[in-house]
Amino acid sequence: MKWKTVPLEQLAAHEDGAIKIGPFGSQLKKCDLVSTGIHVVGIENVLQEKFDGLGERYITAEKFQSLKSVEVRPGDLLITMMGTVGEVAIVAPGTRTSVMDSHLLRFRPNLEVCEPRFVAWLLKGSPVVRAAVQGRAHGAIMKGLNSSLIRTLPAPLPPLAEQERIVKLLDEADELRKLRAQTDRRTAALLPALFHEMFGDPRANSRAHRVVTLGSLCQKISDGTHKTPTYVSSGVPFVTVKNITTGQLDFSETKFISEKEHLELTKRTKPERGDVLVSKDGTIGVPCNVDTDREFSIFVSIALLKLRRELANSVFLTGQLNTDWVQAQIREGTKGIAIRHLHLRDFRTLKIILPPLPLQNEFAQRVTEIRELEAAQAASRQRLDALFQSMLHRAFQGDL
């Protein structure tokens, strides 16, 4: 069905200031903020869609009178105009009297022609609108928008009943995605809970496991090449910290080096199945079990732990490196202020509990089962995301 398309400003309420940018610095200064009074809504409120109990900043009732033109009411749409641009949230019913800070734009909808959540979904999800917003955001370091762009965004205008139907479908699909994310978070919490269940708190060590140094469990502790290699269009993956930050080895965005250079680099440091990788520069202390036979090389920002297999299971060690106890030891060993860095000798002195190997292996088997569950959930999440993106595209084309 073909709908009329109008500039977004035609969906705004017929009142002065229905589309209004937040106060500039000359109107709202740091010295205006007080400990209690009228709440000031900021970008963080929009990004988290939470208008109370977050970013507790206030102005006096007297100051409010001079800023009443940027008062925020339930039902208003607030749009971020700086930094993470084009994000939108509807001010929830029951939200206390407040004003908006700079870098926000208030859009007060005309309820006779539009459903507020339809406008919100349009701004959040219409491919045409998102492309217009991202394409015209200006600024080399921090992106920014101006109100004229928002006013002129193309807005399809179906009948109110159709808007409500579309909103209902998108809300239901979005709720499924939120439930999926909630389930994923619970699954992610299984691993630390499993470690604690099987081995207790390693800091307290109430089960009297042996305490050893990490160095004593390793045949070798090394790091990757200290020199940036020559990249090629295809070949052997070259792994850096960004490829292990999830705690699992991810080859999806690696660069490549030649087979010849890989063979040269692995004379010194060769990752193999059953080894453990740990980030040692920048984002430090993220461990990753090597669970593949695929050949790859690593950069200096990653430490490689080659375990004595008769003593330690790599999955168990990865789980323990993630515990608060070991992470606290890693933070204590951090060097550098601007860029955090761990030396290889810092790894060797880390204290580790050492339960019997059969118990470590049992833990590893149960982790494998959890990882299989996570993989199935990830596939489900990808299908849901693809379906949702398809719905967003169709919703504003009249095909939903």
Per-residue pLDDT reduced to its tens digit, 270-288: 999 999 999 998 888 999 9
- Looking at 3.90.220.20, 3.40.718.10, 1.10.10.10, 3.30.2320.50, the CATH number of the domain 4-157 comes to 3.90.220.20
Q: CA 12 to CA 111: how far, in whole Å?
A: 9
Q: What phi and psi, each to the nearest 5 degrees, are found at residue 342?
A: -115, 135
List, for residues 41-69, the tens digit of each pLDDT value.
989 999 998 887 677 888 898 898 988 88
299 Cβ neighbours under 8 A, 6+ residues apart: 224, 225, 238, 239, 240, 241
CA distance 273 to 296: 11
The predicted pLDDT at position 239 comes to: 96
Fold of 200-355: Adenine-n6-DNA-methyltransferase TaqI; Chain A, domain 2 (3.90.220)
130/113 Cα distance (integer angstroms): 22
Fill in the amino acid letter for 76. D
For residues 319 and 355, the answer to whether their CB atoms sit within 8 Å is no
The fraction of the chain above a pLDDT of 70, given in percent, is 95
H or E, element range at 125? helix 116-125
Confidence of residue 187 (pLDDT cuts 50, 70, 90): confident
- Quickly state the pLDDT bin for 125 (edges 50, 70, 90): confident
List the chain domain ranges.
Answer: 4-157, 159-188+356-400, 200-355
